[in-house]
């Protein structure tokens, strides 16, 4: 298993599409280099929620991961989103990501079929046993319709290659319960925030950073905030947290990744089309987003 550190600010990459809705491979490579060289991100996460993974077919899914791994060329770790509500499909995608050279897998909570907590445990356990990759479990009940309860996550953390979670459950009581319990583990269990506005509070509770959609636009600021906190410079990190909150709010004015893709287009980075059923920002929300980005000198 990898001994890679997963602390810090990770970018859950969008998938840029051309006008014909095919993958913009050149644009994707440009984004990889931008976030590594300019933003100095600590890691990249292709094929997550922000990457519109539900609209990617299996071959596209694999192609995006392969491009990101190849273009990254070992400069930062790549955690590939390979989750599914089908355990069999998740295993297949995870094995392909492992073969492609990803260093970890992000496994979303099974959606739509709403398994019990026992079913959730068995799902993730079966995936973990199928691969040598470190596994991060993604808890986001607002999208999946099912919460991974603290007791279940704590049990999953006992599995050798389940080494962390992306926490977007929105309940800091649950987060605290998991952090308290997993601190007693012999291995490190990473807690990465997936609810962007809660990154600072979650780090104050013992978190390790985040996988953050807003890092597409304010990645330098969020990376600095996280690393200041990790260095014990709590007040300086808090200042950035409060300073950036209006931008974070604007970047979630509609469901992710719609505002993020719009903001990327505004600053001249590859973003491209949204695949249905996602549609562009409503005009009034686009204007509100643009005003905030101008106010913060992110766009002219």
Active site residues: 138, 166
Give the up-direction half-sphere exposure of residue 55: CA atoms within 13 A in the CB hemisphere: 19
Separation CA 170–CA 240 (nearest Å): 21
> What is the DSSP secondary structure assignment for residue 253, as one 8-state letter?
S
Category of 275 on φ-ψ map: left (φ > 0), alpha (ψ -120 to 50) or beta: beta
Q: Helix, strand, coil shares of the chain as percentages rounded to 5?
A: 50, 10, 40
Q: What are phi and psi of 63, to 5 degrees?
A: -65, -45
Strands ordered across the beta sheet of 190-193: 43-44, 8-11, 209-211, 190-193, 162-167, 135-139, 104-108, 79-81
Separation CA 245–CA 296 (nearest Å): 11
Separation CA 279–CA 266 (nearest Å): 17
Cβ atoms of 18 and 54 within 8 Å: the answer is: no
Separation CA 289–CA 26 (nearest Å): 27
> Please, which contacts does 226-233 make with residues 24 or more away whose CB atoms are closer than 8 Å?
226/7, 226/8, 226/9, 226/199, 227/8, 227/9, 229/200, 229/203, 229/204, 230/7, 230/8, 230/203
């Amino acid at each position: 298993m990898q001994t890679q550190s997963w602390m810090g600010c990770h970018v859950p990459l969008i998938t840029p599409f051309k006008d014909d809705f095919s993958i913009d491979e050149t644009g994707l490579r440009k984004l990889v280099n931008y976030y590594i060289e300019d933003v100095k991100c600590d890691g990249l996460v292709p094929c997550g929620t922000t990457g519109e993974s539900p609209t990617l077919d299996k071959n596209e899914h694999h192609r995006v991961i392969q491009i990101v791994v190849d273009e990254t060329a070992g400069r930062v770790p790549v955690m590939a989103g390979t989750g599914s509500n089908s355990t069999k499909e998740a295993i297949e995608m995870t094995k392909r990501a492992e073969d492609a050279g990803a260093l970890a897998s992000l496994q979303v909570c099974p959606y739509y079929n709403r398994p019990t907590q026992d079913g959730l445990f068995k799902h993730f356990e079966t995936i973990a046993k199928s691969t040598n990759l470190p596994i991060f479990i993604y808890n986001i009940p607002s999208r999946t319709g099912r919460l991974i309860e603290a007791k279940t996550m704590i049990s999953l953390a006992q599995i050798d290659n389940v080494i962390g979670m992306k926490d977007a459950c929105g309940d800091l009581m649950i987060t605290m319960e998991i952090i308290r319990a997993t601190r007693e583990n012999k291995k490190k269990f990473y807690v990465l925030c997936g609810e962007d506005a809660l990154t600072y509070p979650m780090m104050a509770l013992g978190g390790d950073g985040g996988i953050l959609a807003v890092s597409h636009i304010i990645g330098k600021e969020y990376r600095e905030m996280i690393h200041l906190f990790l260095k014990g410079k709590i007040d300086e990190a808090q200042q950035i947290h409060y300073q950036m909150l209006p931008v974070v709010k604007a970047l979630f004015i509609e469901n992710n990744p719609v505002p993020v893709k719009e903001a990327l287009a505004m600053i001249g980075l590859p973003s491209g089309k949204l695949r249905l059923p996602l549609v562009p920002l409503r005009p009034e929300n686009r204007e509100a987003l643009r005003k905030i980005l101008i106010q913060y000198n992110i766009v002219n």
